Chain A
Amino acid sequence: MLMGKIAELFIILILVSVVLNVSSPFIKFAIKLYSFQSLMLAFYILMGAVHFNSINLYGSFIITIIFKVILIPYFLFKTLKKVKMDKEIDMFIGIPEAVVFAGSLTLLSNLIAQKIIKTGITFGSFVFTISLATFLIGAMLMITRKTLFSQIIGFLTIDNAIFLAANSITHGMPLLVELGVLFDLFVSILILSILILNLRRNIAV
């Protein structure tokens, strides 16, 4: 049970890092927060691996760390340095409003999760609520920020949320599939970095 509570702590830290992401206009900080968030996700997977003692989850833990905590932030930092984008970003709604909106999205995801639980689907409802909230806040990040990097970070956050939800319902996807998914994600980040190098400015979605 103690393990369960510690796992809860990791999950909550993911949500905290997303909210901090919304509250800060700095891109470097956002990438670091993404790396932290993926680390928390990896630890959550590790707890699951220790609890259920499955090789699948151990492997998933390792590849999550390699791809999401180390490689992808590294590439994003490199691209950021090359592009020399302004550190502060312009946005459609101000930061306190965005943070409060993120809070209301959490409320909304809570309501949705409760509705889903009522229909008899009972998976780890705490983790599902948090993952849905992370998904919505990540989508909000994509929509309300004007820099291209924020769209990438928002997309990566959405992907993390889906991974979190996947790991909460099942005992991890088969390793082959997860490897494919992460590899695809990595290649898409590479391609997006190339596109950023060619675009080099803010576009409004």
Chain B
Amino acid sequence: MNFNGQHLIFGTVQFFIIVILAPFFAGFIHKLKQRARGQKGINIFQFYLNFNKLLKKEIVLSKDASFVSNIAPYIVFADYLVILLMMPAFYRYSLLGVSSDVILIAYSLALATFFMTLYAMDQGSAFGGLGASREWFLTVLSEPSLIFVFISLAIYTKHGRITDIFYFVQKGAANAFLSGIHSGAVSIAIPFLLFISLFIVSISENARIPIDNPETHLELTMFHEANILETSGKHLGIYEYGSYLKLTVFLTVMSLILFPYMAVNIYQIPLALIIYVLKMLILCILIAGVEIVNPKMRVFRVPNVLSVSFILSLIAMILSIRGF
């Protein structure tokens, strides 16, 4: 193992920066949506204040709740933190980078969903079962796309870890741009397909408008919200922060597909950080745009869109196996 002090320090710095920035991006999207609707909009940093407020409040659990309800939120939160420990947002050597296998990331996301829905069902109310089944409905349809996206990346670049994958693409892209010579490792078509596919999956997993509207309180239209409808206090705060972290995970992966620029040493870090924040803001604008333009889809239409994302990732996988 390469025990490099520099990697340790900057990996930790990267991790903390991403974790702290998570509510900011979510707030940014929310503010854009509200501005588009003509409202003045909340403060961008409002979600930090919300978190603070919720942490001080009392937890109310239903009397049927078991020990699961005590530990589930923390497991979910820890799970997302572990995934973020693996993410090379702007520095190549993330803390858990050595074990950041792509399949592991995909399954970790599913693990978090599992515990959240377990918590929801544990409350013993009708909303819990409803929310759990709907959440799994969406996850089952979108998880194949996610896995295919990751597998395509892995096959295409012939590396298993997420850090290596994107470093490989970065080197290939740099070669192609700087020297203009055909390097064979860079294709525009495959990342394009992966981006579209992952975008649709992100919208579905993060409870964004064309598929799910978390602001609604009508039980007929809730997907994600139904799971955490009955939480309160610290648990609610942790769940909400977890959803911001999940959003950050997806946005980070998308930004890496879009244009990977990871710093290798200390001098490149400021530039990489700025580029990273810029990419994330662009993606936030994109997601907000999609949310603003579209009305919420009927539930029966949701499989149509998710199947398109599945097929696009399948096509990307076929192309990457062929070796274009």
A and B touch in the complex (CB under 8 A): yes
Q: Which A residues are closer than 8 A to B by beta carbons?
A: 1-2, 4-6, 8-9, 11-12, 15-16, 19-20, 23-24, 95-96, 99-100, 102-103, 106-107, 110, 114, 125-126, 129
Verify A6–B188 contact, CB threshold 8 A. Answer: yes
Which of A2, A9, A103, A106 is close to B176, meaning CB atoms less than 8 Å apart? A2
Name the distance in Å between A91's Cβ and chain B's nearest Cβ: 12
* B182 with A99: CB separation less than 8 A: no
Question: Is A16 a contact of B312 with CB atoms below 8 Å?
Answer: yes
Mask: chain B, 152-187; 1 = CB below 8 Å from A; 0 = not: 000000000000000000000000100011100011
A to B contact number (C-beta, < 8 Å): 71
Chain A residues with Cβ under 8 A from B324's Cβ?
8, 126
**Residue contact B189 to A11, C-beta cutoff 8 Å:** yes
Are A15 and B315 in contact (CB-based, < 8 A)? yes
* A24 / chain B contacts, CB cutoff of 8 Å: 304
Contact A5 B187 (CB under 8 A): yes
Q: A5-B188, A106-B314, A126-B324 are in contact. Are A96 and B304 (CB under 8 A)?
A: yes
With A1-B181, A106-B314: A23-B188 Cβ-Cβ less than 8 Å: no
Contact in complex: B322, A16 (CB < 8 Å):
no
Complex contact B322–A103 (CB within 8 A): no
B322 with A110: CB separation less than 8 A: yes
Interchain residue pairs with CB less than 8 A apart (6): A1-B182, A4-B182, A5-B186, A95-B304, A106-B314, A126-B324
Chain A residue at minimum C-beta to C-beta distance from B301: A95
Tell me the bound Cα distance from A129 to B188 in angstroms.
Answer: 17
Contact among A8, A19, A95, A126 with B312 in the assembled complex (CB-CB below 8 Å): A19
A20 and B308: CB pair below 8 A? yes
Q: How far is the CA of A106 from the CA of B319 in the complex (A)?
A: 10
> Which applies to chain B's interface (DSSP): helix, strand, loop or mixed?
helix
**Best-buried of A4, A19, A96, A125 by chain B (most CB within 10 Å):** A96
The distance in angstroms between the C-alpha atoms of A166 and B83, with both chains bound, is 48
CA distance A125 to B318 in the complex (A): 13
Contact B180 A2 (CB under 8 A): yes
The answer to whether B187 touches A103, judged by C-beta atoms less than 8 angstroms apart, is no
Across the interface, do A100 and B311 meet the contact criterion of CB distance under 8 Å? yes
B315 touches A106 (CB 8 A): yes
Name B286-322 residues within 8 Å CB distance of A: 303-308, 310-312, 314-315, 318-319, 322
- Check if B196 sits within 8 Å of A110, measured CB to CB: no
Classify the secondary structure of A's interface with B. helix
Q: Do A8 and B318 contact each other (CB < 8 Å), given the known contacts A2-B180, A24-B304, A100-B310?
A: no
Hey, which chain A residues are within 8 Å of B138, CB to CB?
Answer: none
Chain A residue at smallest Cβ distance from B308: A23
Decide: A8 and B188 in contact? CB cutoff 8 A: yes
Nearest-Cβ distance from residue B183 to partner chain A, whole angstroms: 8
Please list the 5 inter-chain residue pairs (A to B) with the smallest Cβ-Cβ separation, ordered nearest first: A103-B311, A99-B307, A12-B189, A96-B307, A1-B182
- Nearest opposing residue in chain B for A99, CB measure: B307
In the complex, which residues of chain A have a beta carbon less than 8 angstroms from the beta carbon of B310? 99-100, 103
- A126 CA to B188 CA in the complex, in Å? 13
Contact A9 B308 (CB under 8 A): no
Give every chain B residue within 8 A of A99 (Cβ-Cβ). 304, 307-308, 310-311
- Select one of A16, A20, A114, A126 contacting B193, CB under 8 A: A16
A1: contacting residue among B180, B308, B315, CB under 8 A: B180
Residue of B nearest to A1 (CB): B182
Q: A9-B188, A19-B311, A20-B308 are in contact. List 6 more A-B contacts (CB 8 A).
A: A8-B188, A16-B196, A23-B307, A23-B308, A95-B303, A100-B311
User: Cβ of B304: which chain A residues have Cβ within 8 Å of it?
Assistant: 23-24, 95-96, 99
Query: Is the C-beta of B192 less than 8 angstroms from some C-beta in chain A?
Result: yes
The CA-CA distance from A129 to B306 in the complex, in Å, is: 24
Complex contacts, A107 vs chain B, CB 8 Å: 314, 318
Chain A residue numbers with a CB within 8 Å of B181 are: 1
| CB pair B308 A8 closer than 8 Å | no
A4, A6, A19 interface centre (most CB from chain B within 10 Å): A19
Please tell me if the beta carbons of B180 and A9 are within 8 angstroms of each other in the complex: no
- Min CB–CB distance B169 → chain A (angstroms): 14
Residue-wise, chain B 116-152 has the 8 Å CB interface mask toward A (1 for contact) of 0000000000000000000000000000000000000
Which residue of chain A has the shortest Cβ distance to B321 in the bound complex? A110
Interface centre among A19, A23, A125, by most B CB within 10 Å? A23
Complex CA–CA separation, A12 to B196 (angstroms): 12
By beta carbon, the residue of chain A nearest B193 is A12
User: Given the interface contacts A9-B188, A95-B303, A110-B318, does A102 sit within 8 Å of B311 by beta carbon?
Assistant: yes
